[in-house]
Structure 1
Amino acid sequence: MKPGSLFSRKAGLGLLAAVLIVGFGWVVARSGPLSPIRVTSLRVEAGALSPAIFGIGTVEARRSYLIGPTAAGRVRAVHADVGERVRAGQVLAEIDPVDLDERLRSSEAAHTRATSAVAAAEALRKDALARRQLAELNARRYRDLGGRSFVSTSAVEGKQQELDSAAATLEASEANLQGARQELRRLQADQDGLLQQKRNLHLLAPRDGLVISRDAEPGSTVVAGQAVLRVVEPESLWVKARLDQGRSRGLAVGQAAEIVLRSHASTPLAGKVARIEPLSDSVTEERIAMVSFERIPDGLGVGEMTEVTINTGSAQPGLVVPNAAIKPMAQGAGVWKLTEGKPRLTPVKLGNTSLDGAVLVVAGLAAGDEVVVHSERELAEGAQVKVVSQLVGAPR
């Protein structure tokens, strides 16, 4: 091989190696662990945030009534259907009486017999009372005659014995009369109970309302307490809202709320917190609040999904940063503050949080400070960073 060609080959290999080394260094410097970390940042500005809570809810009725029998029976007729307005006292359904009419007739016969028994006992008492009065007169007369020795002592004792017997007969008749009257009252109570059962076979509307459910049809057998119809008062509709426990601080009755119905997503409705349930959901970590409408919209249905926003306080001034800029620290919260182009983790004290992800910083920063919002990887104190407008699709 000629010396010139050997030299040219070695020079080419050296040049290629140099290019590879330079390229490798460039790659390491631009995208390797030694490359600057790309971040997005913003300047802190003063502002004010109003605390609010957002939650999902369902429309429910504050007053709803399950209309059903007090004893097991078979449905004979249903006179109302879903969607109908009903009036208080209106017959909504009827239960088949089965043998109740026969039991009533039997009770009436027993009541009539007991009435006759009371009359007979009263007659016997009157007879016993008359006999005792006569025996008392005879006994008194014979005592007078015996005191003047006109009759014997045995005759006086006989009349006294007749008086004692008449008194005992009177007591027995009074006891029989009392027992007959008690039996009459018992039968009257039984009869009243059967009449009440018969009245209960007519299922009446307790209040003016709207039928929202028809759960049994004629011929169906229902048990005591089982609903045949469900009636609600449309004027008592409100929203059962579920709110994050972690953001429910400051929630109170009477606070203003905004309700957005799923059927009218573009029309927010005004409302207010009517009640805060004392029992929270420990599984979903939610508090439950009942939110009433200032004006109930027409055609509102029970069970409709809603979105609820509750204002829990007045606006608080401070410095506003996005929630993404907040980083957890051992002593609380902090932000990566850019000082001379280097990130420094700075503790901050936070205030209100808005629903759009903004956080109020009440201490730790000053207006005009530059803080990191997002970074392509974990930051460290004094790390090399490069501020870009966006991370996705940004040139390196």
Structure 2
Amino acid sequence: MTMKPTNTRRLLLGSLALALVAALAFVALRTGPLAPVKVQVTAVKTGRVTPEIFGIGQVEARRSWLVGPTVAGRVRSVQVDVGDTVRPGQALAEMDPVDLDQRLAALDASLARAQSARQAAEAQVGDAMARRALAAANFKRNQDLARQNFISGAALEARSQEVASANAGLQAAQANLGGSAQDITRLRAERAALAQQRGNLRLVAPAAALVASRDAEGGSTVVAGQAVLRLVDPASLWVKLRVDQGRSAGLAPGLAARIALRSRPGEVLPGQVVRVEPLADSVTEERLAMVALDALPAGVSVGEMAEVTLALPATPEGLLLPNAALQQHQGATGVWRLQDGGLRFVPVVAGVQGLDGTVQVTGPKDGGLREGDTVVLYSQKALQPDARISVVEQLAPPAGAAK
């Protein structure tokens, strides 16, 4: 008995339909929305975390000087240039004295005149003393004559008046002498003050230093306190470090530092925190610290940027996980642990974290994490306790992601 063509066609179509349904089911279960979530896993380890503080800073000079005039004026000349090394007391620049030299000459003339006036006053004192001595001698002789009735009383009174006049003349001469001495003292003080002003117009180096900047040229007008030159001590360079306040726990003097200058990206220079500033920057929310280099390399520029890493003391041994393994589920922080072929969310408390992303965690004693447990590191999408998973070596980047 032969099968009719109609039945054969029906069986063929049914087989094709079953194959298509099986293929669709396979695709849905393997690559569609019902496919298992691909995850990358890692093992819980035991160890110590060496926390570190990272920050950006710039090279500054601990000792620097802004050299400028104490009064407003015009710069006459600048005798050094940027990069020059200067010694203490070396002339750096000079201000225009304007009329200070003429005023000094006028005071010198006034001082000479006052000294001449003093000499005249001394001569007057000598003359007054001689007049008083003569008047006293005449008065004494007339007293003897009056006792012998050789002269009248009126003549004796006239001699007495001469003595009084001589005493008054002597007092006036002595007063003039004292006044001339005070004039000389005043003029000398005025001249010394003017000479000090004249000397301040000559700008000199306060210490051995390096000329860092030249802020004014000859002919420029500057105000009092404005810098003409900036000097730095090249042996006192350090890094002014800025650290995020939220990551600055443990920042203290004495911490060892690794410094990478922008001009030396492949070289790590050792250093140490020497000071933590008591005032933080409230605008940028950063704390400030000063880091000194153990050995200052040649060619370091003031203002150069630097990357600084500070090492804190290591923590006691504990469970370690990559920070990427920590997930949020129902408002709690924890990890997804592979258990009996499924997933279980284990709450944990994150502790100290290192710059490499390793974080120390603690959890409940019963049912918590143990060394060697396998937890999810990365997943294609958010996980649920009943989610089907497929463990892969490494998750492929999303389509269209930059390579």
TM-score range, shorter chain: 0.7 to 0.9
- Mapped to 2, the partners of 1:171 and 1:362 lie a distance apart of 101
* Aligned equivalent of 2:71: 71
Contact 2:139/2:156, CA 8 A, preserved across alignment: no
SS at match of 1:206: coil
Where does residue 252 of structure 2 map in the other structure?
252
Mapping for residues 275-354 of structure 1, pairs under 5 Å: 275-314=275-314, 316-327=316-327, 334-340=334-340, 341-351=342-352, 353-354=353-354
The answer as to whether partners of 2:348 and 2:361 remain within 8 angstroms in 1 is: no
Query: How far is the alpha carbon of 1:134 from its aligned partner?
Result: 6.9
Tell me whether 138-147 or 358-367 shows the greater mean CA deviation: 138-147
Q: Does 1:80 align with 2:84?
A: no
Alpha carbons 2:50, 2:354 under 8 Å: kept? yes
Contact 1:252 1:312 in 2 (8 A): no
C-alpha separation in 1, matches of 2:116 and 2:53: 75
- Picking from 372, 375, 381, the partner of 1:368 is 372
Q: What residue in structure 2 maps to residue 225 of structure 1?
A: 225
Equivalent residue, structure 2, for 1:358: 358
Distance in 1 (CA, whole Å) between partners of 2:325 and 2:179 is 90
| Number of the residue aligned with 1:266 | 266
Q: CA RMSD in A?
A: 4.1
Task: Name the counterpart of 1:389.
Answer: 393
User: 1:211: which partner in 2?
Assistant: 211
**Which residues in structure 2 correspond to 1:121-136 (within 5 Å)?**
121-128=121-128
Cα distance, 1:394–1:167 mapped onto 2, change above 3 Å: same
Change (3 A) 1:18 1:173: farther
Q: Distance in 2 between the 1:377 and 1:148 partners?
A: 145
* 1:133-163 deviation digits (Å, cap 9, x = unpaired): 7777888999999999997599669938964
Distance 1:384 1:145 in 2: 150
In structure 2, do the counterparts of structure 1 residues 116 and 43 end up closer, same or farther at CA, with 3 Å as the change threshold? same
Contact 2:257–2:309 (8 Å) recurs in 1: yes
**Deviation by residue 1:43-70 (Cα, 9 ceiling, x = unmatched):** 1011222121111111111111122222
Question: Secondary structure at 1:267's aligned position in 2?
Answer: coil
CA shift, 1:303, in A, is 1.5
Q: How many residues align?
A: 389
Distance 1:94 1:342, change over 3 A: same
Question: For the Cα contact (< 8 Å) 1:95–1:201, is it kept in 2?
Answer: yes
Q: Alignment partner of 1:264: what SS?
A: coil
Distance verdict in 2 for CA 1:339–1:133, change over 3 Å: farther
8 Å contact 1:344–1:382 — kept in the other structure? no
Is it true that 1:235 corresponds to 2:239 in the alignment? no
Change (3 A) 1:161 1:210: same
Equivalent residue number for residue 39 of structure 1: 39
Q: 1:273: Cα distance to partner? A: 0.8
Q: Which runs of 5+ in 2 are unaligned?
A: none
Contact persistence 2:41–2:377 (CA under 8 A): yes
Please give the TM-score of this superposition, normalised by the length of structure 2.
Answer: 0.80
Alignment-mate amino acid for residue 345 of structure 2: R
Change (3 A) 1:39 1:182: farther
When residues 317 and 166 of structure 1 are mapped into structure 2, their CA distance, relative to the original with a 3 A threshold, is farther
Is the partner of 1:265 in helix, strand or coil?
coil
TM-superposition CA deviations, 1:30-89 (whole Å, max 9, x none)? 543x65444332110112221211111111111111222222222222221122211111
Residue 110 of structure 1 is matched in structure 2 by 110
Q: Using the TM superposition, name which of 370-379 and 135-144 deviates more.
A: 135-144
8 Å CA contact 1:256, 1:273 repeated in 2: yes
Work out the CA distance in 2 between the residues paired with 1:25 and 1:73.
Answer: 91
Decide whether the 8 Å contact of 1:335 with 1:348 is kept in 2: no
- Return closer, same or farther for 1:271/1:134 CA change in 2, 3 Å cut-off: farther
| Residue type at the aligned position of 2:112 | T
The letter of the residue matching 1:350 is G
Contact 1:60 1:237 in 2 (8 A): yes
CA contact (8 A) 2:44 2:375 kept: yes
Deviates more, 1:174-183 or 1:22-31: 22-31
Worse-matched range after superposition: 109-118 or 139-148: 139-148
SS of alignment partner, residue 195 of structure 2: helix
> Taking structure 1 as the reference length, what is the TM-score of the superposition?
0.81
Partner-residue secondary structure (3-state), 1:55: strand
Measure the CA separation in 1 of the matches of 2:47 and 2:16. Answer: 60
Tell me the SS of whatever aligns to 1:342: strand
